[in-house]
Amino acid sequence: MSTVKGKKIAIVGGGPGGLTLARLLQKRGAVVNVYERDINRNARDQGATLDLHEESGLKALREAGLMDAFMANYRPGAEKLRIIDKYATIVFDDGENGLDENSRPEIDRGPLKKILLDSLQPDTVVWNSHFAALTPQNGSWKLAFQNGTFALADIVIAADGANSKIRPYITPIKPIYSGITVVEGAVYNSETASPNVHKLLNGGKIFAMGDEKSLIVSSKGDGSLVFYTGGKTDENWSRESGIDFSDKAQVMAWFQTDYSGWDPIWLELFDNVSSPFVPRPQYYMPLDQTWEALPNLTMLGDAAHLMPPYAGEGVNMAMLDAWELSKCLTSNDFPDAQSAIAGYEKQMRTRAAETAAATLEATAALHSPDAISYLIAVIS
C-alpha cells in the first residue's frame, strides 16, 4: 500500500521541480498543495530558456503526461549554439538540429511553468505563501508563512531553491563557493535594442569566452535576451566591490575595465539593459554530503544539491528528483514514508554527486585559458 495514502503533502516552492512533483503525485492520487511565495502566477519575469534532457527533464514530463503540451510550446532552433571569442569572431557554429533522442530541446521558463500549473487540480497552488517556519505537531508539521497564515501537512517537501529555508531542518551542511560570480542582465526587444548582438545570437545561444572569463547570451521566445557574465572573484565581491548593480553606468564601467580588450559589440548588452543587474555568486553542495532520512521531510532540486549552471543540469535534476520522489512515495515497495524518503535520497545524492562533479569540471574549464577548445571538444 502506498506510503502516502490518506496523507496530506505540502510542497514548498513552485518552480519546475515542485510543480512537476505536484503533478506526478496528483496523477497517483495523492493529496498535495504547493506553497509559493509569489503573489500570483504572473508575479515576476521568468529567466533564461531551459534545455531539457531526454534522461531527466523530458523523462519527467513524459511520466507527467505533458509531452504534447511541451511539443506545442518548445522553441525549435533555440538550442543552436555559437562559440565566439572575445573579439566577437564566431569560432564554432553548431547549426540547427532536429528533435531526436540526442537533442536538448529548449523551452522558456514561462511556458514550462504554465504547462505545469495548468496540469494541476484547481487551487493546488497557494500563492503569497512565503515560508517562515516549520514546527513539529503530533507527527506532522505546522507550516507558518510570512503573511500570518498556517498550514498542516503530514509530509513536507522542500522545493524552495538555492537559498532553501527548509534545508536547515534536514541537515546543517552548507554550500561551498565555486570561485565564480555571475552578473545577470536582460535586454527586451533585442532586435531593436541590441541589433548587433541579436544578429550574432541568431535565435539561439552564444558562449563567448576569453581571458578566463565567460559571457553567455540566450534568446527568448518573447523577443528578449538574457546574458550572464562569469568570472573569478572573491566570494563577497558583489557586496564589497562598491558597485551599485541597479546603476547601469557603474556596471558598464566595471565591464569595460574587467573585460578590457573585448570587442565593443558586447557593450550593446550593458548599454541597453532593461532591468537591474543581478550578481549571483555560484555555490555547490559538498559532493559527499549525507544525512539521516527523516520520516516526513525531504527536499529536491537546488535545495538538495545546488550547483553552478555551466552544464545545464539544474532544472533537469530537479524534475528528475520529482519523478524519483513521486515514485518512491507512491510505491508499495516501502513499509513507511521514512523508508521511501531514504530510498529516494540515497539515489538522489549519488546521482547529484556525479552530476555536480561534471558540472564543477565544466565550470573550471569554461573559465580557463583553453575554454574555447574545451567547449568545442565537448559539443562537436
Sketch out the chain's domains with CATH numbers: 8-75+103-174+285-366 (3.50.50.60), 178-284 (3.30.9.30)
3-class DSSP string for 288-333? CCCCCCCCCEEECCHHHHCCCCCCCCHHHHHHHHHHHHHHHHCCCC
Read off the pLDDT of residues 189-248 as tens digits, 9 standing for 90 and up.
999 999 999 999 988 899 999 999 999 999 988 899 999 999 999 999 999 999 999 999
How far apart CA 79 and CA 94 sit, in angstroms, is: 9
Read off the pLDDT of residues 272-328 as tens digits, 9 standing for 90 and up.
999 899 999 999 999 999 999 999 999 999 999 999 998 888 899 999 999 999 999
pLDDT higher than threshold 50 for residue 101: no
**Residues 129 and 109 sit within 8 Å (Cβ to Cβ):** no
**Residues 190 and 202 sit within 8 Å (Cβ to Cβ):** no
Segment 103-110 mean pLDDT: 82
**Predicted confidence band at 77 (pLDDT cuts at 50, 70, 90)?**
confident
pLDDT > 90: percent of the chain: 83
Strand partners, 158: 12, 299
The rounded radius of gyration (Å) of the Cα atoms in the chain is 21
Q: DSSP string covering 73-85, please? A: H--TTTT-EEEEE
**Strand, coil or helix: what is 359?**
helix
State the chain's mean pLDDT as an integer.
93
Read off the pLDDT of residues 17-31 as tens digits, 9 standing for 90 and up.
999 999 999 999 999
pLDDT at 46: 60
Which phi and psi angles does 377 have, rounded to 5°? -65, -35
How far apart CA 276 and CA 270 sit, in angstroms, is: 10
Cell 529536491 identifies what position?
300
pLDDT at 47: 64
How far apart CA 209 and CA 371 sit, in angstroms, is: 7
Cell numbers for 244: 551599485
How far apart CA 347 and CA 343 sit, in angstroms, is: 7
